[in-house]
Structure 1
Amino acid sequence: MPYYSEDVVEEVRSRTDIVDVISKYVNLQKKGSQYFGLCPFHNEKTGSFSVSPQKQMYYCFGCGAGGNVFSFLMNYENMTFKEAVEELAGQCGVTLPQREMTYQERQHADKRSRLFEINKEAAAYYYKLLRSPAGEQAMAYFTKRGLSQETLHKFGLGCTSKYSDSLYKYLREKGYDDNILKDCGLITIDEKRGGHDKFWNRAMFPIFDANGKVVAFGGRVMGDGEPKYLNSPETEIFNKSRTLFGLYFARKTRREQFILCEGYMDVISLHQAGFDNAVASLGTALTEGHAGMLKRYVKDVYLSYDSDGAGQKAALRAIPILKRAGISCRIINMTPYKDPDEFIKALGAEEYEKRILNAENSFMYQIRMLQNNYDMTDPEKKSDFQKKAAEMIVLEFPTQLERENYTDAVAATFNIPKGALAKYIIELGASGITAKPENQGFEGRAKTHKAKDDGMKFSQRLLITWLVEDPSIFPKIQPFVGPDDFEDGVYKKVAEEVFKNCEDNKSVDTARVVDMFMDEEERKTVAALFNTTVGELTDNADLSKALKETLLRIKKNSLALLKANNADFARFKQTNDSLKKLERTNISL
C-alpha cells in the first residue's frame, strides 16, 4: 500500500509535469502532441521513448518500459514509491502529512537506511585508519601524488588495513549482523572463511551520490597486487551506470560545463587545482545513464580523457552518447601528457585553463582521429579519407546550413579542396544517404504489435487505448463488449476503471491508474494498455472496420474461454447472442 493517501499522491501528481521531470534526464523533442527521446532504460540509437503530456505517462515502444512520473523516478533513480512522492512533493510545493509507515515500507526503508549507515561507518573507519600508523603507506602514496591535507579531507580519503577482516570485525562490533553486511558491498560472507573484507591493503576513495551520501568505494592497491583499482559491486543504493565520482562537489560549481575524466585521481587533482567541475565514470565506459545524470546539471561537457590510444577510443565512444542526450561536447588536448593529473603537475592550472579555452569541437576531433587511420602521403588513401569525411558530415548533420559550415571547417582544417568536398556531399545526398535517425529528430509513434506478440492481448490493449484517446466510441461499443471480456488480472482491472470513467462521462486519469499497481511488471503492462496504436489509419471507413474487427476478436475470445471453462449456460448464451448481434451491426465512426 502507498505510504500516503490517494488524495495526497494525486495532488503531487497533478501539480507535477512529467515532461519537465523527464526532460532533466532525457533529451526530448516534441512531435505532434507527444515528446520523443532515447530510452534511458535500454541502449538504442533511435528514439522510441515517448512522453505524453495529456496522459502524464511515458512509454518505450522498444523495451516496454512505461508508467507515470513516480514510476520514472523509481526506475531511474532506484527510489521507493514513498521516496519518489517526497522528491516530487518538494519540487512542486506540496506539504506531506506525517504518518506511520506500513511494516513492509518500514522494512525496506530501514534496510536502505542501514546500508547508508554502514557505508558511512566504513568511510569514517577508513578515514581514521589513514591518519594512524597503519595508514603510513597509503598516506605516503597520497602525499607523493601531491594531495594536500585539505583535499584529503574534502574527498574523505582513507585506507584499509593489511588484514582481510578488520572492517568486518569493526562493523560487527558496531552491531551490524551478517544478514545486512552481506548486502552492503563491502563484506563477503562464506561458509569456509566466514566474514571478510572485499577491500584490504588499499588506498580508499569514498563514492558519494549527488546528495553527499557514501554509496560505494573505490580502492587502489598498495604494492603490486591485482586488480590495481577495485570498485564496490552494485547494491540496493549503488548503481554504477548512474553514479559519477565527484558529482556531489561538481554540482555546486559556478562554471557552465563539466569536465569528464576517467579516474579518481584526475578528478581530485583538478578539484585541488581549482577546477571544481570535474567528474568521472566509475571504472567503466560512459553510459546513457551517466549522460542522463550529466544533463541534469549542464548542457556542455568537456572530455579530459587519457591522451593515449585507449583514451582516444573511450572519447570516440562517449561523444555519440553525450550527443544523443542533448549535451554539447568538446575535447581537451593534454598532449604531451597522459592525463589531467600529469598535466596539472607539469604545467599547472593556468595552462590547463588555456587548453579548456582551446578545446576541440567533438566532430572535428572525430575527423582528426579518422585521419590517423589513413596514410596521407598515398593519394588513394587520402581520397578514401576525404570521402569518409564527407560521408560523416552527411550522416551527422541533417540541415544544409550545418553541412555547409562543417564542410568549410573540415576543408580548412584538413587541407581538403572545399569545392570537391562540397560536390561529393551533394552527390551523397542525391544518392539517398541521409543523416542518422537520431540526428533527424525523433521517430514518430512505433507500432506496438510485434509478430511474437499475442494477437488477442494486442486487440484488448488497442481497445483500451482507443477508448482513452477517443471516448466518443464508448456508446458504440458498450452494447457488445465489457470488462468481463478482458483477460483476468491487470487487463480486466484496467478495463473496469476505463469503462467506469466512460460510463460517468469522465476522462480517464491514466497516471492515477498506474498507481493502482505497485509491481514494476504490472506497471509496464498498464503503460502498454494505454499506448497501443492501430497504425496510420485516418479514413473513417478504415477506422470503423478496424474497430469492428477488434471488437469481434475480443468477443469471440471471450466466448471461447467461457466454453473452455464450462461456464453456466445463461452466461454463455448471453455472450453468444451479443456476438451474433455485433456481427450483424454496422459500426461507423
Structure 2
Amino acid sequence: MAARIPEHIIDEINSRVRLVDIVGETVQLKRQGNRYLGLCPFHQEKTPSFTVDPERQLFYCFGCQAGGNLFGYVQKRENVNFVEAVKILAEQAGIPLPDQRGHVDEGRLHKRQQLFDLIEAAKDFFSYQLKNHPQGKYARQYLIKRQLAEDTIASFAVGYAPAGWRNLSEHLIKAGYSPDLIVEAGLAVKSQDSEDIFDVFRERIILPILDQRKRTIGFGGRLLYDGQPKYLNSPQTILFDKSKTFYGLDKLNRYQQLPYIIIFEGYFDLISAWQGGIHNGLASLGTALSFDQSRMLKRFTDRVVLCYDADQAGERATQRSMQLLRQVGLKVDIAMMPPGQDPDDFIRNHGGQAFLEQVIEPALPMYGYFMHVLQKKHNLQSIEGKSAFVREYATLLAESDSPVEIDGYVRELAGLLDITENAIYREIQKEQRVYRRQVQKKEGTSAPIDEIKGSNIDYTAEGLNKAQEIVIYLALHDTSYGSKLTDDLKFEHFDHRYQVLLEKLWPFWQGNQSIQMDKISNLFDHAELSLLAEIILKNEDSIGDPDKALYDCIEHLKVNNYKNELKKLVSLFEQVNEQGDLNAATDVLKQIQELQRKLGRQR
C-alpha cells in the first residue's frame, strides 16, 4: 500500500469513526457543553485537562499539550505512524484500503490483520489439542480438579499446548504462515544457531487473552506439572502488551458503567469468579497494576476492589496498585482474603455468593487497609511503636481531601492507640503541608481548564504566541477574518512554528474559501495537527469580541515586526557608520525614522 493515503479514504474514516468513541475506549469522558472532558491518557493527572471536540474531531490536553485529530490520537496511543493509524481505523470502520496501484484489494491483509488471523489459528490449535491430543487428557483432568465446567472451559476457550518443541509452529507453517510472522506474533522464538523456530508454549494449559473487541491478542500458559515459570504470558507484540490490557476484558460490556470492578491476581481466580456468577472481575496479568491499566478501569467504573492473594507478594502488589488507582481518581477498597487462601480456593470451597458476602462486601477502604497493615508492622505496646504508627499513617492520610474521612480515621486511631486526637491532627497537618508542596511542584505546569476558559484576555498585552494563535484561530472560523489576515499581515509577522501552518492555510484565505478541519487534516503532519488542535481548543472559549480581538492581535504582530526590523536597522546603522559610509548611514537612518513613525501610529 502506498504511503500516500487517498483523500476519499481519510474523509470516509472521518465520517464513520467518531473520535469521542475511540478516546472513550480507554478514557472515561464527561460531557461539558459542546466538548467532552477526561483524565489525559498520555500523562498522569488528577484534575481532568483532556478535552475532545466531537464536531471538529480534535483533542487537546491543557496539561501535557498533546493534541491533534482522530488519526493523531491513534498514532500517539498505539505508537504507530500515520499510515498504520489509518489502517487501524479503516479496519475498525470496515473500510478496504487500496494497494500500491491504487486498487482496492479486500483480500490483501495487512500485517496487523495477518497477526490477528494467525493468533486465532493458534487458539483453535490449542483448543483442538485439549480435546483430542493424547496428552490432552491430563490437561482435562487438571481442569476437572479445578472444578471447571465444560461450558466455562468453552466460554474462556481454554486450550492445551502439548510437550514438544515445534507442534504449533509446524501446524501454522502448514497453514501458510511464515516462520517470521509466527515469531512476530510471540508464539515462537528463533534458534541462535539456525533458522529453526521453537514454540514458546509447551506442556501448558493455554488461556487466550482477548481485547475489548473480543479478538485474541495473546496467551497465558500454566505449566501442567511442577517447574518454573509456573505462568507464562505472550511477549510484547504489536497486538499485545500485558501492561495495557486485562484478562477477562472481553467479558465486560465496553459501554456499561459498573458499580465496581474486582481485580484478581490470577487467571483461575477470574475464571472461578465468573463461573460462580461474579461477572464484574478482571485479572491484571501481573503482580501489580500498571498506570495504563489503572487508567483503563476509569472507562468502566468509579470504584475498584483489589483482591490479591494473602501473601507478602499480594500485599506489596495491593499497596502499589492502590496508589496508581487513586492517582487516576478511582475509589479503592481492599478485599482481605483468609490466610492461606486465594480467591480461586475460596470460591471453589464456598461458592460465589459466599465470596461476595464474606470477602467483597466487607472490603476495607484504603485507609482502613493501611491501618490494618500498620498494626501488624508496629509494636503498639510501646510509645516508640505508637509514634512510628502515627507518623506513617499521617503521611498516608494527608493525601485525603475529605475532612469527614480524616475525622473518622483520626477517632478510630486515637481509640486504637489510646492517645489524644489532637496529637494525631498535629502530625497530619504537618504532613499535609509537605504533600501540598509536592503536588504544587508536580502539577505546577498544568493549567486548570476552567481557568483558561474563563480568562478575559487583554490581547494587546498578551505575548506574541497568544496573538499569533488568536489570529489563526479566528481566521479558521470565519473566511472574512482569513481575508483580513492575508491583507494585513505577511509570513514574517509569524514565528516559524506557525508559518508551516500558514503555508497550507494561506491559499484558502486568499481564495475566500471556508475551512473544514476534517476535510483538510490530511494536509498536515502529526506535529502540525497537534499545534492546530492546541490553537483551536485552547482559544475557543477565551475570546470575547472577535472583531476587537482580531484588530488588537494584528496590531500587536505589526508592532512586534516593526520592533524586530528596527533592531536590525539600528545594528546596520552602527555598522555602516563605523565604516564611514555616510550615504549608506543616511539611507538606513531614513528607514529607522520611517519605522519609528509607523510604530508611533500603531501605538
Report the TM-score, using the length of structure 2 for normalisation.
0.74
1:519-556 CA-to-partner distances (Å, cap 9, x unmatched) read 655644655666889xx9x9x9x989975676469989
2-side partners of 1:57 and 1:554: how far apart? 35
Q: Do the aligned partners of residues 117 and 484 (structure 1) sit closer, same or farther apart at CA in structure 2, a change above 3 Å counting?
A: farther
2-side partners of 1:213 and 1:188: how far apart? 23
1:141 aligned onto 2:142: yes
Letter in 2 for 1:228: K
Larger deviation, residues 190-199 vs 229-238: 190-199
Which of the numbers 199, 202, 206 marks the counterpart of 1:200? Answer: 202
Shift of 1:332: 1.0
Which of the numbers 286, 296, 314 marks the counterpart of 1:311? Answer: 314
Larger deviation, residues 221-230 vs 374-383: 221-230
Q: Do the aligned partners of residues 99 and 347 (structure 1) sit closer, same or farther apart at CA in structure 2, a change above 3 Å counting?
A: closer
- In the alignment, which residue of structure 1 is the partner of 2:585? none
- In the alignment, which residue of structure 2 is the partner of 1:246? 248
Secondary structure at the residue paired with 2:232?
strand
2-side partners of 1:255 and 1:35: how far apart? 20
Q: Mapping of 1:123-162 within 5 angstroms?
A: 123-131=123-131, 132-162=133-163
1:494 aligned onto 2:501: yes
Which of the numbers 375, 378, 383 marks the counterpart of 2:379? Answer: 375
Is the Cα–Cα contact under 8 Å of residues 159 and 202 in structure 1 kept in the other structure? yes
Which of the numbers 101, 118, 138 marks the counterpart of 2:98? Answer: 101
Q: Do the aligned partners of residues 304 and 585 (structure 1) sit closer, same or farther apart at CA in structure 2, a change above 3 Å counting?
A: same
Shift of 1:484: 9.9
2-side partners of 1:171 and 1:341: how far apart? 34
Q: Mapping of 1:261-280 within 5 angstroms?
A: 261-280=264-283
- In the alignment, which residue of structure 2 is the partner of 1:452? none
Secondary structure at the residue paired with 1:585?
helix
Shift of 1:401: 4.6
- In the alignment, which residue of structure 2 is the partner of 1:118? 118
1:30-59 CA-to-partner distances (Å, cap 9, x unmatched) read 9999877553234x3565953264975333
1-side partners of 2:35 and 2:145: how far apart? 55
Is the Cα–Cα contact under 8 Å of residues 127 and 159 in structure 1 kept in the other structure? yes
Which of the numbers 339, 342, 346 marks the counterpart of 2:342? Answer: 339
Letter in 1 for 2:198: H
1-side partners of 2:568 and 2:342: how far apart? 67
Is the Cα–Cα contact under 8 Å of residues 265 and 341 in structure 1 kept in the other structure? yes
2-side partners of 1:367 and 1:553: how far apart? 64
Q: Mapping of 1:175-324 within 5 angstroms?
A: 175-190=176-191, 192-251=194-253, 256-283=259-286, 285-324=288-327
2-side partners of 1:4 and 1:234: how far apart? 34
Letter in 1 for 2:502: A
Secondary structure at the residue paired with 1:292?
helix
1-side partners of 2:138 and 2:318: how far apart? 34
Shift of 1:290: 1.4
1-side partners of 2:72 and 2:331: how far apart? 29
- In the alignment, which residue of structure 2 is the partner of 1:164? 165
Is the Cα–Cα contact under 8 Å of residues 494 and 513 in structure 1 kept in the other structure? no
Secondary structure at the residue paired with 1:133?
coil
2-side partners of 1:502 and 1:484: how far apart? 16
Larger deviation, residues 339-348 vs 352-361: 339-348
2-side partners of 1:579 and 1:504: how far apart? 36
2-side partners of 1:322 and 1:486: how far apart? 42
1:191-248 CA-to-partner distances (Å, cap 9, x unmatched) read 6151221211222111111122111011122334432221112222223222110111
Shift of 1:507: 8.1
Is the Cα–Cα contact under 8 Å of residues 246 and 280 in structure 1 kept in the other structure? yes
Letter in 2 for 1:156: A
Between Structure 1 and Structure 2, how many residues are aligned?
543
1-side partners of 2:425 and 2:123: how far apart? 58
2-side partners of 1:231 and 1:579: how far apart? 75
Secondary structure at the residue paired with 1:330?
strand
2-side partners of 1:179 and 1:431: how far apart? 54
Larger deviation, residues 417-426 vs 266-275: 417-426
Secondary structure at the residue paired with 2:360?
helix
Secondary structure at the residue paired with 1:220?
strand
Instruction: Show structure 1 runs of 5+ residues with no match.
Output: 90-95, 447-458, 560-576
1:118-139 CA-to-partner distances (Å, cap 9, x unmatched) read 1111111111111221223323
Shift of 1:394: 2.9
1-side partners of 2:601 and 2:289: how far apart? 54
2-side partners of 1:67 and 1:478: how far apart? 28
2-side partners of 1:126 and 1:259: how far apart? 28
Shift of 1:493: 4.4
Q: Mapping of 1:464-543 within 5 angstroms?
A: 464-469=468-473, 475=484, 479-482=488-491, 487=496, 492-499=499-506, 514-517=521-524, 520=526, 523-524=529-530, 527=533
1-side partners of 2:561 and 2:375: how far apart? 60
Letter in 1 for 2:231: Y
Is the Cα–Cα contact under 8 Å of residues 245 and 282 in structure 1 kept in the other structure? yes
Shift of 1:443: 4.4
Identical counterparts, % of pairs: 27
Is the Cα–Cα contact under 8 Å of residues 262 and 280 in structure 1 kept in the other structure? yes
2-side partners of 1:556 and 1:327: how far apart? 56
Instruction: Show structure 2 runs of 5+ residues with no match.
Output: 451-462, 476-480, 570-590
Letter in 2 for 1:266: D
Letter in 2 for 1:496: E
Is the Cα–Cα contact under 8 Å of residues 391 and 427 in structure 2 kept in the other structure? yes
Is the Cα–Cα contact under 8 Å of residues 548 and 587 in structure 1 kept in the other structure? no
1:81 aligned onto 2:86: yes
Secondary structure at the residue paired with 2:388?
helix
Secondary structure at the residue paired with 2:385?
helix
Is the Cα–Cα contact under 8 Å of residues 211 and 245 in structure 2 kept in the other structure? yes
Secondary structure at the residue paired with 2:347?
helix
Larger deviation, residues 33-42 vs 176-185: 33-42
Is the Cα–Cα contact under 8 Å of residues 130 and 136 in structure 1 kept in the other structure? yes
1:86-127 CA-to-partner distances (Å, cap 9, x unmatched) read 75x7xxxxxx9x666344996995322221111111111111
Secondary structure at the residue paired with 1:244?
coil
Is the Cα–Cα contact under 8 Å of residues 303 and 330 in structure 1 kept in the other structure? yes
Shift of 1:309: 1.6
2-side partners of 1:328 and 1:507: how far apart? 47
What RMSD in Å do the two structures reach over aligned CA positions? 4.8
Shift of 1:165: 0.8
Secondary structure at the residue paired with 1:245?
coil
Is the Cα–Cα contact under 8 Å of residues 485 and 555 in structure 1 kept in the other structure? no
Shift of 1:580: 8.0
Q: Do the aligned partners of residues 579 and 548 (structure 1) sit closer, same or farther apart at CA in structure 2, a change above 3 Å counting?
A: farther
Letter in 2 for 1:265: F
Q: Do the aligned partners of residues 545 and 309 (structure 1) sit closer, same or farther apart at CA in structure 2, a change above 3 Å counting?
A: farther
Shift of 1:63: 5.5
Q: Do the aligned partners of residues 10 and 113 (structure 1) sit closer, same or farther apart at CA in structure 2, a change above 3 Å counting?
A: closer
Q: Do the aligned partners of residues 158 and 11 (structure 1) sit closer, same or farther apart at CA in structure 2, a change above 3 Å counting?
A: closer
Q: Do the aligned partners of residues 431 and 64 (structure 1) sit closer, same or farther apart at CA in structure 2, a change above 3 Å counting?
A: closer
1:39 aligned onto 2:48: no
Is the Cα–Cα contact under 8 Å of residues 25 and 295 in structure 1 kept in the other structure? yes
- In the alignment, which residue of structure 2 is the partner of 1:366? 370
2-side partners of 1:475 and 1:215: how far apart? 53
1-side partners of 2:161 and 2:565: how far apart? 68
2-side partners of 1:373 and 1:466: how far apart? 58
